[in-house]
Structure 1
């Protein structure tokens, strides 16, 4: 269940209440006239089944409540209520399958910002991965992949393509390209420093590395894994199962490939540099392709489910 807390102008409160009452899957409606001070208006609260949330939020935005008042949405962890159970049963579909497009767009918009924190995380992850590839240490590689924040802007780019939001697409693309460019540039300097103090060497990079050689040897398995990870990542975002994102992060080799390309570039190794860059691009392409198709499929099947539910209510 979701809890909605609205501030509505007094002249729109009746329309908001009617919208909530006619939306299947809502309950616990409460109206507090004149309670809001900034902006001035009434406070309207209700609970809604997750699978009906997108329809209700879309209706509220059509009434311009997001402009003239406010719409706040919270997840309810526990609701002991017969009415809540009844509302969830009446709502079409299953809550786990529902996509809250407004919530997804807001979350990916924040994750797609080229902030100092984002650049710091992707740079640190790439430097950790650089240590991993030089030492042929799989544990460091896994740790670097878990630290890397690149799935946020990738998800934002997929969402922007499906929602036809060019500004979000451009913001996400800038975060992806600029983030990796800065991270790789800093890692090149980091490699020079580590070589200078005797911790990195060209021999360590060129020796047999059974645990990490895959990062500069792309193949079809790399693309397949990236596609599967992209599907899993999008499903975890849209179903609010964020714990699965950790598994997604350590399934793809974007950060290790970027790190190996940077280290190889610092030692003038064109073969590994190009192979790692190809691995990086292949993973990015697989994730974007899979994530976009997953969102399109969810949008299509959820629309069909809502149409079936609407027809059954009119029978």
Structure 2
């Protein structure tokens, strides 16, 4: 179940209450007149099945509640109530398959911000992968893959393509390209520093590396793995199963490929640089393609299921224009 908390202008409260009462999948309605101070208004709360969330939030936005008041949604780990059980049964479709597009857009927007923290995580991950490459240590490679935050912008691009959100697409693309560019420069400097300290040398980069040589040898298998990881990662975001996202992070060699490109470039091995770059681009492309197709499929299947069940879109009771 999801918990919905609204701040509603007093003259709109009755419409909102009528909307919540008439929506299948809601329970535990509470109205607190005059409880809100900033912005001023009434507080209206209820629980709702996840399957009812997307269209109900859309109807509230059409009433202008996001502009004149506030809409807050949070997940509930445990709800013991026969009313909640009935709401889950009455809601259209299976809550496990429901996608809250507002929640997804908010999550990917937050993860797609080009910030100091984001660049720091990506740079540290790439430097860890560089150590793994030079030492031919797969444990370090896996650790670097788990640290890398690049799936956020990739999911943001997929979400933006499906939702036709150019601002999110631009923000995600900038975070992805700018972040990797910064990480590559920092890692190249790191390799130079380690070489100057005698901890790295060219022979380490040139010797056979049976455990990590796959990083700069792209093939169709790499693309297939990236595609499958993109599907799993997108499903983990839309179903709020964050544990699966960790498995995605350690299955695709985006960060190690970038690290190997930086190492090879530092030592003038341009064949490895090109191979690593191709691996990186193939993986990024596979994830974005998989994420976009997965979201389109989820959106289409959900709409078809609702049509078969005969559920009409949720609309505000009066059908009036949003009031701000």
Higher mean alpha-carbon deviation, 300-309 vs 126-135, is at 300-309
**Matched ranges for 1:58-207 at <5 A:** 58-207=58-207
**Matched ranges for 1:159-308 at <5 A:** 159-308=159-308
CA–CA separation in structure 2 for the residues paired with 1:225 and 1:272:
21
Corresponding residue number in structure 2 for 1:21: 21
CA–CA separation in structure 1 for the residues paired with 2:108 and 2:296:
16
SS of the residue corresponding to residue 44 of structure 2 reads strand
CA–CA separation in structure 2 for the residues paired with 1:163 and 1:211:
41
The offset of 1:311, in angstroms, is: 5.3
SS of the residue corresponding to residue 242 of structure 2 reads coil
Describe the superposition over 1:120-144 as per-residue Cα deviations: whole angstroms up to 9, x where unpaired. Answer: 0000000000000010000000000
CA–CA separation in structure 2 for the residues paired with 1:64 and 1:122:
39
CA–CA separation in structure 2 for the residues paired with 1:187 and 1:40:
51
Query: Which consecutive unaligned segments of at least 5 residues does structure 2 have?
Result: 313-324
SS of the residue corresponding to residue 230 of structure 1 reads helix
Query: Which consecutive unaligned segments of at least 5 residues does structure 1 have?
Result: none
Residues matched between the structures, number: 313
Q: Is the 8 A contact 2:2 2:47 kept in 1?
A: yes
TM-score normalised according to structure 1 size? 0.98
Q: CA RMSD in A?
A: 1.1
Q: Is the 8 A contact 2:92 2:311 kept in 1?
A: no
The offset of 1:244, in angstroms, is: 0.5
CA–CA separation in structure 1 for the residues paired with 2:245 and 2:25:
29
The offset of 1:309, in angstroms, is: 2.2
CA–CA separation in structure 2 for the residues paired with 1:307 and 1:42:
35
SS of the residue corresponding to residue 310 of structure 2 reads helix
Stretches of 4+ aligned residues off by more than 3 angstroms:
none
Describe the superposition over 1:91-145 as per-residue Cα deviations: whole angstroms up to 9, x where unpaired. Answer: 1211111100000000100000001000000000000000000100000000000
TM-score normalised according to structure 2 size? 0.95
